[in-house]
Structure 1
Amino acid sequence: MVFDAAGALFWLIILMGGIAVAVWILFGFALRAIDQIMASPASKPERILWSVLVLALPGVGLAIWALFGPRSEPDPPGR
């Protein structure tokens, strides 16, 4: 029982670390994209709109995946 909990905790830490690294990388790409948008010759409201869209897209994608992504099927009765 203790081994199962320790193993689960180990994999949870590994998973959370992987997610944190992925978010850090995506945040870096978003900041670089925003820098390029702000340096463009477009009008200020248009640059702000594009910056907001760049920051919102990962959240929108995650929400769509959470709503319509793969779902685990319950075990059939008798198992």
Structure 2
Amino acid sequence: MSSLATWALIGVATLVVLLDLWAIISIFRSDTNVNAKALWSLLIIIFPLLGLAIWGVAGPRGVTQGPSSPEHSK
């Protein structure tokens, strides 16, 4: 395998991992019940690409709270 192909695969794998982390964080910030959060997270962990695709189409929506900062708490 050429060096360029190796770097391309590393880039794609890094992108998939970052998207999976974003999806899992979004899942745990959603307002769904704990069981649904656990099932969605397991789906994404076990099947990273397929789970991310399914979550993107039919996943939980609605973030209960955004990141907290001192400016917003005033």
Query: What TM-score do you get using the length of structure 2 for normalisation?
Result: 0.57
Amino acid at match of 1:30: D
Could you list the structure 1 runs, at least 4 aligned residues long, displaced by more than 3 angstroms after superposition: none
For the pair shown, the structure with the greater C-alpha radius of gyration is: 1
Amino acid at match of 2:14: W
The count of aligned residue pairs is 51
RMSD: 2.2
The higher-RCO structure (CA 8 Å, 6+ apart) is 2
Aligned to 1:23: 13
Gaps in structure 1 of 5+ consecutive residues: 1-10, 61-79
Gaps in structure 2 of 5+ consecutive residues: 51-74
Give percent identity, aligned residues only. 20
